[in-house]
């Protein structure tokens, strides 16, 4: 199912970003704005990012198993990704702006796909059989 692939890829990217933050902290130290350039903030960022990624992998599993509960956390994740994308798209740097625009597109596509009639039919069939 396409939604499982989207959620799974997003989850892996978030976990990959958490690993990247760990590697960068070890390699070059803690850098950045004052509010995030201390050990507690970095650990918090890594924990939240990895937790969000793990949650998306769980949602991906739910989509794969055609579970209706997967829709709500998936939609919340898409809204969060859209907001992150909006923030990135306001950057003056081209690369960051492009990443932000891509995040917005992926989030909107995910939301639209989650409400397609075919997805609703499959989820309704799953609920009626009691899986």
Mean pLDDT for all residues in the chain: 89
**Residue partners of 15: CB distance under 8 A and separation at least 6:** 49, 50, 53, 54, 57
Q: What is the separation of C-alpha 18 from the centre of its chain, rounded to a whole number of angstroms?
A: 12
Domain ranges, ordered by start, for the chain? 2-129
> Rounded to whole angstroms, how far apart are CA atoms 63 and 84?
23
Q: What is the pLDDT of residues 20-66, one digit of tens each?
A: 989 988 888 787 776 667 888 889 989 999 999 999 999 999 999 99
In the 3-class helix/strand/coil scheme, how is 20-89 assigned residue by residue? Answer: HHHHHHHHHCCCCCHHHCCHHHHHHHHHHHHHHHHHHHHHHHHHHCCCHHHHHHHHHHHHHHHHHHHHHH
Answer yes or no: are the C-beta atoms of 21 and 47 closer than 8 Å: no
Amino acid 115: pLDDT? 93
pTM for the whole structure? 0.84
In this predicted structure, the answer to whether residue 130 has a pLDDT above a threshold of 70 is: no
End-to-end CA gap in the chain: 17
Residue from 108, 46, 41, 51 nearest 81 by CA: 108
């Amino acid at each position: 199912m396409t939604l499982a692939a989207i959620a799974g890829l997003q989850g892996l990217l978030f976990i990959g970003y958490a690993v990247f933050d760990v590697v960068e902290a070890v390699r070059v130290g803690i850098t950045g704005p004052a509010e995030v350039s201390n050990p507690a903030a970095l650990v918090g960022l890594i924990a939240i990012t990895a937790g969000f990624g793990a949650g998306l992998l769980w949602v991906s599993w739910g989509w794969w198993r055609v579970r209706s509960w997967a829709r709500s956390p998936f939609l919340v994740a898409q809204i969060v990704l859209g907001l992150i994308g909006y923030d990135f798209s306001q950057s003056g740097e081209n690369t960051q702006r492009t990443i932000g625009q891509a995040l917005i597109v992926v989030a909107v596509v995910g939301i639209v796909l989650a409400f397609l009639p075919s997805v609703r039919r499959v989820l309704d069939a799953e609920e009626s059989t009691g899986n």
